[in-house]
Amino acid sequence: MFVSDNLSVNEKGNLTIGGADTVALAEKYGTPLYVMDEQMIRSALRRFHESMEKFYGGKGLVCYASKAFSCKEMCRIVASEGDGLDAVSIGELYTAVQAGFPMEKVGFHGNNKTNEELRYALENGVGHIIVDNISELHRLEALAESMGKVPHIMLRIKPGIDAHTHQFIMTGQIDSKFGFALETGEAFEAIKEAVSCKNLKLVGLHCHIGSQIFDIDPFVAAAEVMIDLMAKVSRELDYSIPGLNLGGGFGIKYLNEHDPQPFEKYLERVSAAVKAKCDEYGFDQPYIYIEPGRSIAAPAGITLYTVGARKEIPGIRTYVSVDGGMADSPRYILYGSEYEAVIANKANEERSEKVTIAGKCCESGDLIGENMLLQHAEPGDIIAVCATGAYNYSMSSNYNRLQKPAVVFVNNGESRIAVKRETLEDIVRNDV
């Protein structure tokens, strides 16, 4: 009935998430409110690392892509599952450090890392740095030498795979700001140079072909292309690269009609492809890293809003206005991303009307979604937007000087604050 398995209805007819009554959560913590289900996060992480065990003999690490949703509590949960982390800025690194995350399990990304960020990564013992371009390679080499360190690096490669997803979140093709292109020979030249750097140790190649991808074939194709490249490096440079990072990007179910493949299937097919290619070339299977973000965080989360107004424009549409909007839910205005929604206090009733859920920001495009199937909405109702655990809180802003909502974690019916709601004082904190 609901888009995520952790949602249900209790005896009061209220929507529950992870066993907690969402109407009670809205009352206790206020709205807008992000709610994350801890058990759902843990079970997604386990499904990935158990599949890594089952299909690839455990020779790999699941590195949760913290850009999807990062806060100290999330880092603690990932750490307690024994998984790694992908961080893409000093802010994400700092969050991990503050949470006591084992930094040797962190991969540091970014297409324009500053020297301050690189230094911070080295000082804090980050496991490896994924180098994006030649000037970064040179800067890192100089920095490592000056700090007397030999960091482990990977190189980000554009494998030239066309993944069928939104243009803004497609990254594997040649016209992308991320990484070294394979087709032009740029990648091979960069590898040659990296191998010759005295203060850097090349431990892997990395690729990430995009996000919200349903089809497994492009992942398999990318893995094969990467092993081909590793074989060329081994043959021509006599250097065997021990690691292969295949990025993230697994599609999830946002709408009832979506039917993503189970993660297990992805790992089964990719593992088989890597093994087959390695056998073909007669070399050892690399240590594999994957970086799922959305698939860990999105299905675990919902956002709760209170309806403030209903506006019926005969023959045109009905607007239902809520107390948040593009500041906490930016994906509709950015990508036209669609979600399922439920009126939490009417969860047992039929979803009988199609409405536009509008935010409270000062622009017409500020919508949570259009043509959303919903129970009859009235002021005071609590709307739950489903599968919002990834790229909502992490992409939220203070547009219109709105305060960012709190994040609450639920665990088997119990709730706790993970991130406090911003106060008005927070809004002017850095103003002078």
CA–CA separation, 186 and 192 (whole Å)? 10
Closer residue to ligand LLP, CB minimum distance, 32 or 299: 299
The least CB distance from residue 295 to ligand LLP, in Å, is: 6
Instruction: Tell me: does residue 253 bind ligand LLP (CB under 6 A).
Output: no
Instruction: Tell me: does residue 292 bind ligand LLP (CB under 6 A).
Output: yes
Contact set for ligand LLP, span 54-83 (CB under 6 A): 65, 67-68
The least CB distance from residue 323 to ligand LLP, in Å, is: 22
Instruction: Tell me: does residue 181 bind ligand LLP (CB under 6 A).
Output: no
Binding window for ligand LLP (CB under 6 A); candidates: 95-103, 187-195, 204-212, 358-366 = 204-212
Helices H / strands E in the chain, number of each: 12, 21
Instruction: Tell me: does residue 208 bind ligand LLP (CB under 6 A).
Output: yes
202 neighbors 195 (Cβ within 8 angstroms): yes
The least CB distance from residue 196 to ligand LLP, in Å, is: 25
The least CB distance from residue 291 to ligand LLP, in Å, is: 4
Nearest to 342 by CA among 5, 29, 16: 16
Task: List the one residue from 6, 66, 285, 295 that touches ligand LLP (CB under 6 A).
Answer: 295
16 neighbors 9 (Cβ within 8 angstroms): yes
362 tagged catalytic = yes
Nearest to 110 by CA among 94, 127, 89, 96: 89
Instruction: Tell me: does residue 291 bind ligand LLP (CB under 6 A).
Output: yes
Half-sphere exposure (Cβ direction) of 339: Cα atoms closer than 13 Å: 29
Instruction: Tell me: does residue 92 bind ligand LLP (CB under 6 A).
Output: no
Tell me whether strands 367-374 and 353-358 are parallel, antiparallel or unpaired.
antiparallel
| Binding footprint of ligand LLP, residue count (CB under 6 A) | 22
Nearest to 286 by CA among 343, 225, 337, 245: 245
String of contacts with ligand LLP for each residue 363-392, x by CB under 6 A = ---------------------------xx-
Q: Which residues contact 372 (CB under 8 A, 6 or more apart)?
A: 338, 339, 340, 341, 354, 355, 356, 357
Residue whose entry in the numeric block shows the structure tokens 């030649």: 134
- Site residues (CB under 6 A) for ligand LLP? 65, 67-68, 86, 109, 169, 208, 211-212, 247-250, 291-295, 331, 335, 390-391
Active site residues: 362
